[in-house]
Amino acid sequence: MSSTIEELERRRAAARLGGGQKRIDAQHAKGKLTARERVEVLLDEGSFEELDMYVEHNCVDFGMPEQVVPGDGVVTGSGTINGRLVFVFSQDFTVFGGSLSERHAQKICKIMDMAMKVGAPVIGLNDSGGARIQEGVASLAGYAEVFQRNVLASGVVPQLSLIMGPCAGGAVYSPAMTDFIFMVKDSSYMFVTGPDVVKTVTNEIVTQEDLGGAVTHTTKSGVADMAFENDIEALLAARDFVDFLPASNREPVPERPCEDPWDRLEDSLDTLIPPSANQPYDMHELIRKTV
């Protein structure tokens, strides 16, 4: 019995260490948090219940049996934000660059299925280079399963994606299908394929920032909703934002005490919007006077 407990503790320590201290230090050097640190900031203290901590990949090719990390590059589970239940997955860039394997995908799909079953938001902390190339089509099939959950959950439970690293391929197809996307300036990117491939195919030289940076997607493409200065800001904003969302389509929007009387009249609204649709007006003023 003691040997079994020791083995569990060894695997638990390995899972918490992810890709190793050297890679964790490299993550910190870039101004980024690790997958587990992000979960701790996002959720209420002590509320996180982790699932499938000891799951390992099942790839037997390309020397992968010698490279096994418990958790397989994603931390999944449930917790609370200001007392409300949410389900979370956080990809670990220190483990194979956060790439998605078959088992990695199964962990994500499991918490999405649970979220739809009980009616709770899903929050994805994305930091992944895309499909794990060593697993080939099995990895791509894993993405197909995740996409299916994105479709099934749409309109059923809120889906919030935080892009917290250089994400490419399937790692951005899935977030693009979710309801809301937050990004981090200078450290997160969303593109179907990177600048090197663009240069090879079109002979066009483009930077990561211009191709899929936070400012690009929040000011030009409209793919993302908000851009933040660092991981902490993005995670704290996500905490605040979830407070405004219903838990599912079976529940009403949360109600908060408000000092604004329901029968307040704002006469200036009669003249704020011009009679001509071609004439501009200050949308911010409209929102302030209404809300």
Instruction: Say how many CA atoms lie within 13 Å of 46 toward its Cβ.
Output: 0
Query: Does position 130 have pLDDT exceeding 90, yes or no?
Result: no
DSSP state of 99: -
- Averaged pLDDT, 74-82: 95
For residue range 30-45, list pLDDT tens digits in order: 889 999 999 999 999 9
pLDDT of residue 131: 86
Q: Check whether 208 has a pLDDT greater than 90.
A: no
Q: How far apart are CA 21 and CA 57, in angstroms?
A: 21
| Domains by residue range for the chain, with CATH | 2-242 (3.90.226.10)
pLDDT at 179: 95
Whether pTM exceeds 0.75: yes
Residues 185, 179: Cα–Cα separation, whole Å: 20
- Contact yes or no for 245/216 (Cβ under 8 A): no
Kindly state the DSSP code that residue 253 receives in the 8-state scheme.
P
pLDDT > 90 in the chain, percent: 52
Q: What's the pLDDT at 36?
A: 93
- Within 92-150, strands assigned E span 122-126
Mean pLDDT lowest for which of 47-51, 52-56, 147-151, 216-220? 52-56
Which of 29-43, 63-77, 98-112, 155-169 has the lowest average pLDDT?
63-77
> Residue 50 CB: number of other CB atoms within 10 A?
16
The partner residues of 89 in beta bridges, in order of sequence, read 76, 124
